[in-house]
């Protein structure tokens, strides 16, 4: 039973950032802009968030969960600013969206290392992890469920679920969501009924920037005690989660947990008696999410549910 608790708790740490970032990517792609820059945006978010925590803890002498919440805001703001660069290239300049995304992915680690070394001489930014919640009051005492969901956890886990619920409501239950989806499917039609395609696409990309930035910090907090200019390819993995999840919130949740579980097994299989006995090298487990994604793509892409106009710059004058 303890192994199961451990497994579920660890899976949360890996899945929640994937969930948040993939939902960000969903907003961008459903508005019609491919955001391959998620990896870079996560790095920017993780960097600014951890830097904020570092300064708050050491310079301002702040403590408690409040720092984490403020750091999440900082990460989201940074993500939005970076995503604006992508939005400008993709929407106003009608540039190749993959290229400007690649540029941001290249810029992010270089920028993070550069700034860190300018202000601290080393590229790592450490922080004291005081955010782990041993057991949520009252809820943690529930048998079984308490152990699975409310012990050894972070507020970011619940934030992830909150974002999921909000994303579903925004996308399917609001006027904004309907317009956003229209811009990703058929921008000309949306424009003809008076929707400002450019503005909706900006909104989509900025949402993906905010969620990407938050996801970067959410990834770093439970899995490390320092930020070293990397989110270990989670941004690219989130892209896979997005496609695996067919651009739909609840399927993205499922995909994120599947990938998270695989990552957990890859990193912790030696602690699971059943798997340690099999003697399969960890690199095999690490490969599994990617192989499975390829297989799933091979079978689903023929009738893929990708937004029709995703990746195509919108030109008012074109027919």
Partner 1 sequence: MKKPKKDFWGLLGGMSFLSSLMAIAVGLLVGFIILLISNPQQALLGFKAILLGGVSDMKNVGQVLYNATPIIMTGLSVGFANKTGLFNIGGPGQFIVGAYAAIYVGVNWTFLPGALHWMAALLAALLAGALWGLLPGLLKAYRNVNEVISCIMMNYIGMYLVNLLVRSTVYNQLKNESKAVAASATLPKMGLDKIFVAGASASSVNSSIFIAILAGIVVYVIVSKTRFGYELKACGFNSDASRYAGINEKRGVVASMMIAGALSGLGGALLYLGGAGKYISVVDTLAAEGFNGIPVALLGLNHPIGIIFAGIFIAYLTVGGFNMQLYDFVPQVIEIITAVIIYFSAFSLLLRGFLQQRRLRREEAALTAASAGGKEEEA
Q: Which residues bind partner 1 (CB under 8 A)?
A: 36, 85, 89, 93-96, 98-100, 102-107, 109-111, 113-114, 117-118, 232-233, 236, 239-240, 243, 281, 283-284, 286-287, 290-291, 293-294, 297-299, 301-302, 304
Q: Are 244 and 260 in contact (CB under 8 A)?
A: no
Strand residue runs (E) in the chain: 125-126, 133-135, 151-153, 226-227
Nearby residues of 153 by Cβ (< 8 Å), 6 or more positions away: 9, 12, 132, 133, 136
Q: In terms of CB distance, is 195 or 261 closer to partner 1?
A: 261
Q: Strand 133-135 to strand 151-153: parallel, antiparallel, or no bridges (unpaired)?
A: antiparallel
Find the shortest distance in angstroms from Cβ 118 to partner 1.
Answer: 6
Q: How far apart are CA 25 and CA 39, in angstroms?
A: 11
Find the shortest distance in angstroms from Cβ 92 to partner 1.
Answer: 9
Q: How far apart are CA 44 and CA 83, in angstroms?
A: 10
Q: How far apart are CA 275 and CA 238, in angstroms?
A: 26
Q: In terms of CB distance, is 278 or 298 closer to partner 1?
A: 298
Q: In terms of CB distance, is 37 or 163 closer to partner 1?
A: 37
Q: In terms of CB distance, is 60 or 299 closer to partner 1?
A: 299
- DSSP helix/strand/coil, 153: strand
Find the shortest distance in angstroms from Cβ 100 to partner 1.
Answer: 5
Q: How far apart are CA 149 and CA 5, in angstroms?
A: 8
Find the shortest distance in angstroms from Cβ 237 to partner 1.
Answer: 8
Q: In terms of CB distance, is 10 or 105 closer to partner 1?
A: 105
Find the shortest distance in angstroms from Cβ 59 to partner 1.
Answer: 21
Compute CA 267 distance to the chain's CA centroid, rounded to the nearest angstrom.
20
Q: In terms of CB distance, is 129 or 267 closer to partner 1?
A: 267
Find the shortest distance in angstroms from Cβ 85 to partner 1.
Answer: 7
């Amino acid at each position: 039973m303890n192994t199961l608790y451990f497994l579920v708790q660890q899976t949360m740490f890996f899945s929640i950032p994937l969930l948040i970032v993939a939902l960000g990517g969903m907003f961008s792609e459903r508005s019609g802009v491919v955001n391959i820059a998620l990896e870079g945006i996560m790095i920017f978010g993780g960097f600014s968030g951890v830097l904020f925590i570092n300064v708050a803890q050491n310079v301002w002498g702040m403590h408690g969960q409040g720092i984490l919440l403020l750091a999440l805001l900082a990460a989201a703001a940074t993500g939005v600013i970076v995503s604006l660069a992508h939005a400008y290239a993709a929407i106003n300049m009608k540039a190749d969206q993959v290229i400007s995304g690649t540029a941001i992915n290249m810029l992010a680690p270089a920028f993070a290392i550069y700034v860190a070394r300018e202000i601290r001489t080393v590229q790592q930014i450490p922080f004291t992890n005081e955010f782990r919640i041993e057991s949520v009051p009252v809820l943690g005492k529930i048998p079984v469920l308490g152990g699975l969901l409310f012990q050894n956890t972070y507020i970011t886990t619940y934030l992830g679920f909150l974002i999921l619920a909000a994303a579903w409501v925004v996308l399917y239950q609001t006027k904004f969501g309907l317009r956003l989806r229209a811009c990703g499917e058929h921008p000309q039609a949306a424009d003809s009924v008076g929707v400002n395609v450019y503005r909706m696409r900006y909104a989509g990309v900025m949402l993906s920037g905010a969620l990407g930035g938050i996801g970067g910090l959410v990834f770093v907090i439970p899995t490390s005690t320092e930020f070293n200019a990397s989110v270990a390819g989670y941004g690219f993995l989130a892209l896979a989660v997005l496609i695996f999840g067919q651009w739909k919130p609840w399927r993205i949740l499922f995909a994120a947990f599947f990938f998270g579980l695989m990552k957990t097994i890859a990193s912790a299989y030696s602690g699971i008696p059943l798997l340690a006995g099999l003697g399969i090298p960890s690199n095999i487990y690490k490969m599994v999410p990617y192989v499975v994604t390829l297989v799933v793509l091979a079978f689903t892409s023929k009738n893929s549910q990708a937004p029709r106009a995703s990746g195509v710059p919108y030109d008012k004058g074109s027919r």
